[in-house]
Each structure stands twice: as structure tokens, then as C-alpha cells.
Structure 1
């Protein structure tokens, strides 16, 4: 298992919903391999996970650190894409 260092925290609880995913993906794009961001959200970000799967499958890690009921914390890491 690759250990990722948390580079930044993205707390989207006060961000307008339409702006959340662009902010998260922009922050993810700025990460180097083996770095991670800490996402703090007010609900389970499972739809975001599926969007990551679709757009960055194999290039990210997803680890729940806290799972509600009021706050969700997820470490999202950038990992090396697997070769085929």
C-alpha cells in the first residue's frame, strides 16, 4: 500500500454545491504523485467517488477517515496510474 502525504485540506461545507466538484478536482490536479488532499464535507461524497472513478480511474486512492453523521472526512490521494 502506498502512503500518501496530505498536502492540503479542502473544506467544502461552506462552498456552493455547484462549485464543490470543480474546486476538488482542481486541487487534486495540483497534487504530485503520492500526495493527498483531505476533503471535509457535510454529506457522504459517494457521487464524487464515482466521478473520480470515471475521470481518474486507477489514478486516485480514497480513504474515509470519518463517516458522518454531520461531517465526512476523506483522504483522496494521487497514485501512479497502473500500466497495462
Structure 2
């Protein structure tokens, strides 16, 4: 499993969500991104729940007050042995 850190507050607000979604889409099954932000990324998490519900699991690593860290792990495809990376 590979884990990539994205410091969301360093990305311009206009590009932040699309950058994170694209980064997630490029992950191999079993890999993860950790989103580090200065606020709870609820709108982004709602987007993932509405549009990628079967593709990921989330885990809060840190929940404020000044820093939030959320791990989004890309699920492996159903019946995957893991050899191909789950894609």
C-alpha cells in the first residue's frame, strides 16, 4: 500500500477538489491519499460518498481543532487478488 499526502490548504480553492479527486482516481487499489486541511473537508467527503461510494473507505486520522487529516483508501476491485494493483 502506498500513501500520498495532499496538503489541501496549499492548493488554490478553485483547483482543490478537482486535484484531490483526480489524485484519488489515479490510485491503484489498496493505495490511499491523506488529505491534510485546516478545516473538516465535509463537502469533499460528501462528493466522494455521492459519486464514489463503492470505491473507497475513509478514516479520520486527526479531527481538529486546527488540523484535520482524513485517509481515503481506494478499494480493490471485487475478487481481486491484489497482484494487478486492483485496477
TM-score range, shorter chain: 0.7 to 0.9
Deviation at 1:32, TM superposition (A): 0.5
Select between 38-47 and 11-20 the one with higher mean Cα deviation. Answer: 11-20
**Residue 21 (structure 1) aligns with:** 17
Deviation at 1:34, TM superposition (A): 0.7
Larger Rg: 2
Question: Counterpart of 1:51 in 2: which secondary structure?
Answer: helix
Contiguous gaps of at least 5 residues in structure 2: 80-87
Contiguous gaps of at least 5 residues in structure 1: none
CA distance in 2, matches of 1:67, 1:82: 31
Equivalent pairs counted in the alignment come to 79
User: Which one has the bigger helix percentage?
Assistant: 2
CA RMSD, 1 decimal: 1.6
CA distance in 1, matches of 2:10, 2:37: 9
Large movers: runs of 4+ above 4 Å? none
Deviation at 1:16, TM superposition (A): 1.5
Change (3 A) 1:79 1:29: same
